[in-house]
């Protein structure tokens, strides 16, 4: 529909969609939320405009989960780091099962929501978003123009997506339901957070039916 090719949407050697796709997905989903629920998110189209983001290219840099797990011989591919050109002021907090704070950062998007130490050749570049936090993660937007909260329930594919969603809401929470990550009751957490919007992002392997690397399996 948008004239994009597979390499723009998905990595060749990784089971995630690209960072670019995550950004485009937030624009699409928030537009749908506005149409369905009259939320008036991003009325000036500042956050959803792809041109309002810096794009840093790391050529032949990313090995992805296929290569790092030695499933097959792979090469490196390009990785893009995207972050806003517009002003941001965000705080990210991560909590363990006891609700103890185990990680935090405050600042501009590129300083608070991206762990640049993870962007190394052959390293876990994709999980640099949300700083790799994998349990209960909440992003507070100190420049929000509404008081809405959103909750993203997903696997690791939801990390960049949740980061790019954070300018739209006062609070954006992300939980990963894979074993060993978010270990609390989702229902209890929803009651505590009281999100205006709940987004469930999933892929075929989310439910354990398909291996993340068996792309041709029906």
- pLDDT confidence tier of residue 153, bands split at 50, 70 and 90: very high
Closest of 20, 28, 9, 45 to residue 167, by C-alpha: 45
CA angle 146, 177, 83 (to 5 degrees): 45
Question: Span 47-76, mean pLDDT?
Answer: 80
Residue 87 has pLDDT above 90, yes or no: yes
Which of 23-32, 89-98, 173-182, 189-198 is predicted with the least confidence, judged by mean pLDDT?
173-182
| 170 neighbors 140 (Cβ within 8 angstroms) | yes
Task: Give the start-to-end residue ranges of the domains of the chain.
Answer: 6-207
> Has this prediction a pTM greater than 0.85?
yes
Q: Give the whole-angstrom CA distance, residue 139 versus residue 142.
A: 10
Question: Span 117-135, mean pLDDT?
Answer: 88
């Amino acid at each position: 529909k948008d004239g994009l090719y597979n390499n723009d949407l998905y990595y060749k050697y990784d089971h995630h969609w690209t960072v670019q796709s995550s950004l485009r997905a937030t624009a699409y989903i928030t537009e749908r939320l506005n149409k369905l629920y009259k939320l008036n998110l991003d009325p000036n189209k500042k956050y959803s405009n792809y041109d309002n983001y810096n794009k840093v290219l790391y050529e032949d840099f990313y090995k992805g989960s296929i290569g790092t797990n030695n499933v097959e011989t792979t090469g490196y591919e390009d990785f893009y780091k995207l972050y806003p050109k517009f002003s941001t002021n965000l705080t990210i907090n991560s909590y363990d099962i006891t609700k103890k704070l185990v990680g935090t950062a405050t600042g501009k998007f590129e300083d608070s929501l991206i762990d640049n130490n993870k962007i190394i050749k052959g390293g876990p570049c994709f999980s640099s978003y949300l700083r790799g936090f994998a349990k209960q993660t909440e992003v507070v937007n100190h420049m929000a123009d509404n008081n809405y909260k959103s909750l993203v329930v997903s696997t690791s594919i939801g990390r960049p997506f949740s980061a790019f969603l954070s300018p739209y809401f006062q609070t954006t929470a992300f939980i990963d339901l894979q074993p060993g990550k978010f270990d609390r009751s989702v229902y209890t957490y929803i009651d505590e957070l009281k999100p205006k919007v709940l987004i469930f992002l999933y892929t075929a392997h989310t439910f354990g039916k398909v291996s993340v690397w068996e792309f041709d399996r029906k």
